[in-house]
Structure 1
Amino acid sequence: MRNLKRVLLAVFVLLLVLAILAFVLENQQSVTLLFLGWAGPQLPVSLVMVLALLIGMVIGPVIGWLLGRASRVSRRRLA
């Protein structure tokens, strides 16, 4: 049973890597992002998307941790 789980996990990871590779290879067009009048450098679409994903994966848990910490502090004040 343990070996089956390892094999399924390996297949899942391999498929995920192949999907990411296909995405990167298919999205090599350069784009320039404009935000509040600021223009960023020209980067491939895939790089912009991967950077946005990674930034979101960092910011999301940090915000969740801060909100959880704030709610714990407010609960302590009520007790």
Structure 2
Amino acid sequence: MHIFKRIILIVVVLLVVLATTVFMLENQQPVTLVFFGWSAPQLSQAVPVVLALLLGLLIGPLFAWLVSLRKKRTRSI
């Protein structure tokens, strides 16, 4: 069962990498982001989107871990 879960995880990760690669190749138009008056250099349209995806992939598990930690604390009290 452990090997099956690992294989499923590898397949899912490969699908996400493939989808991200295809997305980046299809969205090569240059864009400039302006955020509170700060202007970023022109980048491929896919770069900010992929950066947001990666940031979400980092922040999501962090928040889930914090919530589970808080639930464990309330149970132990």
TM bracket, shorter-chain basis: 0.5 to 0.7
Length-normalised TM-score, structure 2: 0.65
* Segments ≥4 residues shifted beyond 4 Å: none
Q: How does 1:1-79 map to 2 (within 5 A)?
A: 13=14, 17=18, 19-77=19-77
Identity of aligned residues (%): 44
The unaligned stretches of length 5 or more in structure 2 are: 1-6
How far, CA to CA, are the matches of 1:32 and 1:21 in structure 2?
21
1:28 alignment partner, SS class: coil
Instruction: Choose 1 or 2 for highest CA Rg.
Output: 1
Length-normalised TM-score, structure 1: 0.64
- The number of aligned residues is 68
The unaligned stretches of length 5 or more in structure 1 are: 1-5
Question: RMSD across aligned C-alpha pairs, in angstroms?
Answer: 2.7
